[in-house]
Amino acid sequence: MAELLRKQNQVVAVGLEATYATPATVTGSNAVLAMDLSVNMLESNVADRNNVVGYMGAQGGITVSRKGTASFGVEFAGSGTATTPPAWGKLLRACGMGEVVGVSDVTYTPVGAGFESATLLYRIEKVQQRLIGARGKFTLNLDAQTIPSMKFDFESLYEDPTVEAGLLTGVDTSAFKNPFGQTKDTATVTFLGSAVRMQKLSIDLGVQTQFVEDVGGESVEIVGRKGSVSISFRTTDAELVAALQNASNNVEGALNAVHGSGAGKTLTVNVPNIQVKAASVSWDGEIANVDISADIKPLSANTDLTITQS
């Protein structure tokens, strides 16, 4: 009897496409060290048939639209060499980010045109599917006392899966390096110019994608950005009052988060301008935190945020 498919035998690999929706060559050496992997191999829209046939009953339907989706997280860790792009760099590039390799760092910033795309190769043992023309969005999760991570959500064009002769060979995730935990010794956060004792931090660039399909073709398009920040930190009386005033007056300023240490292992996320929208008190046991939500409000084109490995 044939073996049943097992969750732990999933693999996802990624390659950037030179031409949109022309599948990139993706092998096991391009595997992603993914967590919480969820792939919808077929997401379809079906148009119902609704004819008068002289009796009761469903008449079925016709599939009129198909796409694939994939969601997963990766650990937020550098490559170990300052000028070698981190393994997750390709994923950022498929989410509307541009990559610049400098003399001592690698920097990612948003782009407003010329969006790249990726081919995701998905395997469940011998079952293989290519998710081509993939573009997506990401969120940075930098909570204290966790392994910091990035959550990716991709949409793609649909391609029928196949059953291959054997398992995917050469699977190698060694480019994804061991991360640092998010602790007082490995991270610093500055909010509106002041260092804070951060407990929770989520940064969402707010990339907006749209699956476009018509009789002339299909594509996944990046159509906009609307970024946001959610942060929670320990508060004193003066800090709480200031936070509420900042929210009441929609104060603007910068957010800067540094994680890790050492060449090629230091990651800096800089949001040059946020606008505070709301502030409230929450409790961690008997200790008060102030929870703040803010919009990422760029002051010029493509300055929403930067992610730098140095």
pLDDT tens for each residue of 117-158: 999 999 999 999 999 999 999 999 999 999 999 999 999 999
| Residue 40 near residue 55, CB atoms below 8 Å | no
Residue 3 has pLDDT above 90, yes or no: no
Q: What's the rounded Cα separation, in Å, for the pair 135 and 55?
A: 46
pLDDT tens for each residue of 188-238: 999 999 999 999 999 999 999 999 999 989 999 999 999 999 999 999 999
* Residues shown for the chain: 310
- Amino acid in the structure at residue 244: L
Contacts of 57 (CB under 8 A, 6+ apart): none
Q: What's the rounded Cα separation, in Å, for the pair 221 and 212?
A: 7
Q: What's the rounded Cα separation, in Å, for the pair 167 and 53?
A: 49
